[in-house]
């Protein structure tokens, strides 16, 4: 069976969606997205700064580094 992800824009839409799903006896569960941990956000910002400052390598070179035998 297919599953759908919907994004209500306000509480009114959310209430209407819940009412329709309950009326049709469709099972659903809320999923609240958790904020990213501080260290993840910090790492992303550092990565963007690296790109902005020209510190980058092609993916093929990155793959080569990962597959080298120590």
Residue 2 lies in a domain: no
Q: What is the pLDDT of residue 55?
A: 95
pLDDT of residue 31: 86
Strands of 1-70 (E only): list them: none
If one counts the domains in the chain, the total is 1
Residue 3 lies in a domain: no
Answer whether residue 53 is part of any domain: yes
Which helix (H) or strand (E) segment is 61 a member of?
helix 59-67
Instruction: Kindly calculate the radius of gyration of the chain based on its CA atoms and give it in whole angstroms.
Output: 22
- Would you say residue 1 lies in a domain? no
In sequence order, what are the residues at sequence separation of 6 or more whose Cβ sits closer than 8 angstroms to the Cβ of residue 6?
17
- Here the tokens at position 64 are 């080569």
Model confidence pLDDT, tens digit, residues 57-66: 999 999 999 9
**What is the spatial distance between Cα 43 and Cα 47, in angstroms, rounded to a whole number?**
6
Residue 19 has pLDDT above 80, yes or no: yes
pLDDT grade for 52, boundaries at 50, 70 and 90: very high
pTM (predicted TM-score) = 0.46
Domain assignment of residue 15, given as a range: 11-67
Question: Is 17 domain-assigned?
Answer: yes
């Amino acid at each position: 069976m297919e599953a759908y992800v919907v994004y209500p824009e306000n509480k009114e839409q959310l209430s209407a969606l819940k009412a329709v799903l309950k009326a049709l006896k469709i099972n659903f569960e809320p999923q609240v997205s958790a904020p990213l941990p501080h260290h993840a956000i910090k790492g992303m910002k550092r990565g963007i700064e690296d790109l902005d400052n020209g510190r980058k390598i092609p993916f093929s070179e990155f793959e080569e580094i990962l597959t080298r035998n120590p």
